[in-house]
């Protein structure tokens, strides 16, 4: 196991040149961005920069949760898992809805279609395809950032009339970075004057060559609204799935990833889990992130109770100790004692991770505001990609009320730096890091100036906390 200087820099949101400088101080002169660091050196660098080391826990290894591959003889074909990405308004949601409509087993007795974050359609030929129905690349990036690899194929939707837009480019980049094959769906072909060739041409500039341009990326012309081209799209998904030879062992303890999770007033913590190998059964004891539980009941995306769930099937499960996060690993363990042990071990890691932030938190930030009778709530927002920064800024602006207004002083892509802290300090604003951290200097300044640094990996967590903070600030009238 080794990691290059550049890769380590990316993960820590630090400059590679700073790492090289540190290495020369640590008796490793002549290092470059490509220098491979062994685990011990990487850990030393990480701690020198004041970051935390998150390692696969010893408890995980003990319960055989990692590194144990299935015997090829046990592998059986499984449905592909597909994510749809693309620029806003290019038709992601419409396409997801249209594809959902192709399901031949829809409308099962007693079932009501419910949004659980993913759904599976069964095709006339009996094959199945699973779609993650939180469109957009924030969710994809979030999951990937948490180490979850759930998507087999990405569909990039491009509205022919709008063309390649910033989020299209990001979607392409994220897909490439994840090493996942893409299929381009050229949408809105029902609109007068439709010209798909223009898109195929424009894609070349982003290193995406579709088949008719001599490349290997499949593309298909669709209209999500008029529901044309859907059969062809599904055909191409299945073809791609064939090429990928997607397989899993269904006859083992289940493992998977959390797609989404929430706290339901009546039913308690709920999580949608995508089973990735094995078969999940009612009564199974599991660990999920820092939570654990016993499957009390499982519902599929049609609201129907199921007793078992095999590979690539998304199911909503009841019976969790708490609400996990999207991207958290899920795995069945032999008994409750083991589940508790692993969960608490992980909870310990989580707390250790959280305590690095914030000399002040959002609540105390509000105390300061209250005494100053300020009615504006300033924020600085830094994120890992332009798309998430945009999404956060727009979400944050939406929670402003007549009485208190969130004001984004500055937003941008990249790690949190000294200049961000200086800016924030001037307005007593907290800094939000989404998928990024503060560098050592910035942390030092933040400590000194009492600037709160808050790290989030999930937009919803950030919005929820902010809403609570705003509500608390304004009192019960709100
Ligand atoms: P998203 O933001 O990518 O999820 O896009 P939506 O699915 O919400 O679609 C944005 C707008 O484009 C909506 O007004 C849709 O009705 C419209 N739209 C989506 N697909 C098509 C299509 O195939 N043809 C036409 N004419 N309009 C479409």
Per-residue pLDDT band for 175 (boundaries 50, 70, 90) equals: confident
Nearby residues of 404 by Cβ (< 8 Å), 6 or more positions away = 375, 376, 377, 470, 473, 474
Percent of the chain beyond pLDDT 90? Answer: 41
**Per-residue confidence band for 122, with pLDDT thresholds at 50, 70 and 90:** very high
Q: What is the mean pLDDT of residues 37-48?
A: 80
Ligand 1 nearest atom to the CA of residue 95, by list position: 7
- Of the listed ranges 2-11, 19-28, 187-196, 285-294, the one predicted with least confidence: 2-11
CB of 88 sitting under 6 A from ligand 1: yes
Return all residues near 344 (Cβ < 8 A) that are at least 6 apart. 290
Q: What is the reported pLDDT for 99?
A: 94
Q: Is the CB of 181 inside a 6 Å radius of any atom of ligand 1?
A: no
The answer to the question of whether 89 is labelled as a binding residue is yes
Is 289 annotated in a binding site? The answer is: no
**Do residues 327 and 260 make contact, with C-beta atoms less than 8 angstroms apart?**
no
Q: Which residue has the tokens 């500055």?
A: 410
Cβ of 228 below 6 Å from ligand 1: no
Q: How big is the CA angle at 137 (ends 289 and 419), to the nearest 5 degrees? A: 85
Closest CA to 325 of 357, 304, 350, 361: 350
The verdict on pTM exceeding 0.90 is: no
Mutate to test the pocket of ligand 1, among 83, 86, 89, 91 (most ligand atoms within 8 A of CB): 91
Calculate mean pLDDT across residues 53-70.
Answer: 49
The answer, yes or no, to whether residue 72 has pLDDT greater than 50, is: yes
How far, in Å, is the centroid of ligand 1 from the Cα of 196? 16
Residue 187 has pLDDT above 90, yes or no: yes
Q: What's the confidence (pLDDT) of residue 112?
A: 63
pLDDT at 359: 32
pLDDT, position 26: 79
Has residue 373 got a pLDDT over 60?
no
Q: How many CA atoms lie within 13 A of 93 on its CB side?
A: 3
Q: Specify whether the CB–CB gap between 187 and 95 falls below 8 A.
A: yes
Whether the pLDDT of residue 466 is over 60: the answer is yes
List the single range of 74-88, 174-188, 303-317, 361-375 with lowest mean pLDDT: 361-375
Calpha distance 426→424 (Å, rounded): 5
Residue corresponding to tokens 């600037």: 451
227 burial type by CB count under 10 A (0-12 exposed, 13-18 middle, 19+ buried): middle
Lowest mean pLDDT among 41-55, 320-334, 392-406: 41-55
Least confident range from 228-237, 241-250, 257-266, 351-360: namely 351-360
Q: Which residue has the higher pLDDT, 107 or 189?
A: 189
The token pair that represents 277 in the structure block: 């190998």
**Hey, what are 439's tokens?**
């560098």
Choose the residue to mutate in 166, 224, 394 for probing ligand 1, maximizing ligand atoms within 8 Å of C-beta.
224
Residues 137, 171: contact at Cβ < 8 Å?
Answer: yes
Whether 268 and 317 have beta carbons less than 8 Å apart is answered as no
Closest C-alpha residue for ligand 1 atom 14: 89
91 is in an annotated binding site: yes
- Go through the chain and tell me how many residues it has: 478
Neighbours of 3 (CB within 10 A): 19
Residue 324 has pLDDT above 80, yes or no: yes
Measured from the CB, is residue 387 less than 6 Å from ligand 1? Answer: no
Q: How many CB atoms within 10 Å of residue 393? A: 16
Q: How confident is the model at residue 173 (pLDDT cuts 50, 70, 90)?
A: confident
User: So what's the pLDDT on residue 390?
Assistant: 86
Neighbour count for residue 104 (Cβ, 10 Å): 11
- Position 258 scores a pLDDT of 93
Residue 265 has pLDDT above 90, yes or no: no
Give me the residue label for tokens 């062992």: 249
State the pLDDT at residue 478.
29
Q: 90 labelled as ligand-binding?
A: yes
Burial class (CB in 10 A: 0-12, 13-18, 19+), 112: exposed
**In ligand 1, which atom is closest to the CA atom of 191?**
26
443-473 in b/e burial notation, b at 16+ Cβ within 10 A?
bebbeeeebbbbbbbbbeebbebbeebbeeb
Q: Is the ipTM of this complex over 0.90?
A: yes
**Residue 169 pLDDT greater than 60, yes or no:** yes
Distance CA 433, CA 357 (A): 10
Burial of 317 (0-12, 13-18, 19+ CB in 10 A): buried
What mean pLDDT value characterizes the chain?
A: 83
Q: How far apart are CA 252 and CA 23, in angstroms?
A: 45
* Cβ of 191 below 6 Å from ligand 1: yes
Per-residue pLDDT tens digits for 222-253: 999 999 999 999 999 999 999 999 999 999 99
345 or 478, greater pLDDT:
345
Question: Taking the CB of residue 258, how many other CB atoms lie within 10 A of it?
Answer: 27
């Amino acid at each position: 196991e080794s990691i290059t200087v550049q890769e380590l820099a990316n993960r820590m949101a630090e400059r590679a040149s700073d790492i090289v400088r540190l290495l020369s101080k640590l008796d490793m002169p002549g290092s470059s961005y490509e220098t491979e660091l062994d685990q011990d050196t990487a850990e030393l660098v990480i701690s020198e920069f004041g970051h935390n080391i998150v390692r696969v826990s010893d408890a995980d290894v003990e319960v055989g949760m990692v590194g144990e591959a299935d015997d090829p003889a046990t592998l059986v074909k499984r449905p592909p898992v597909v994510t749809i990405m693309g620029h806003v308004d290019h038709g992601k949601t419409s396409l997801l809805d249209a594809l959902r409509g192709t399901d031949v087993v829809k409308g099962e007795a007693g079932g009501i279609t419910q949004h659980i974050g993913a759904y599976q359609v069964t095709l006339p030929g009996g094959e199945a395809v699973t779609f993650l129905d939180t469109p957009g690349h924030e969710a994809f990036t979030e999951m990937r950032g948490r180490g979850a690899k759930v998507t087999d194929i990405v569909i990039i939707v491009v509205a022919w009339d709008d063309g390649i837009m910033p989020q299209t480019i990001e979607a392409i980049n994220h897909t490439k970075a994840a090493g996942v094959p893409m299929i381009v769906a050229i949408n809105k072909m029902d609109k007068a004057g439709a010209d798909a060739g223009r898109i195929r041409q424009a894609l070349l500039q982003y290193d995406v060559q579709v088949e008719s341009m001599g490349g290997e990326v499949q593309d298909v012309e669709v209209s999500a609204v008029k529901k044309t081209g859907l059969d062809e799209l599904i055909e191409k998904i299945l073809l791609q799935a064939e090429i990928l030879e997607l397989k899993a062992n269904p006859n083992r303890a289940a493992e998977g990833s959390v797609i989404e999770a929430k706290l339901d007033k009546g039913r308690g913590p709920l999580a949608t889990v995508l089973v990735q190998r094995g078969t999940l059964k009612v009564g199974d004891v599991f660990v999920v992130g820092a939570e654990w539980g016993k499957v009390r009941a499982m519902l599929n995306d049609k609201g129907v109770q199921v007793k078992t769930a095999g590979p690539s099937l998304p199911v909503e499960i009841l019976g969790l100790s708490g609400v996990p996060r999207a991207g958290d690993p899920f795995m069945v363990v032999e008994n409750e004692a083991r589940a508790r042990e692993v969960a608490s071990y992980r909870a310990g890691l989580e707390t250790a991770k959280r305590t690095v932030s914030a000399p002040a938190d959002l609540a105390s930030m509000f105390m300061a505001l209250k005494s100053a009778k300020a009615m504006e709530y300033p924020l600085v927002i830094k994120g890992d990609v332009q798309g998430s920064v945009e999404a956060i800024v727009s979400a944050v602006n939406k929670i402003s009320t007549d009485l208190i207004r969130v004001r984004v002083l500055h937003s941008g892509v990249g790690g949190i730096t000294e200049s961000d802290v200086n800016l924030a300090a001037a307005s007593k604003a907290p800094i939000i890091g989404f998928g990024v951290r503060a560098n050592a200097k910035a942390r030092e300044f933040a400590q000194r100036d009492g600037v709160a640094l808050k790290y989030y990996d999930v937009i919803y967590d950030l919005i929820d906390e902010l809403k609570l903070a705003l509500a608390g600030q304004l009192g019960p009238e709100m």
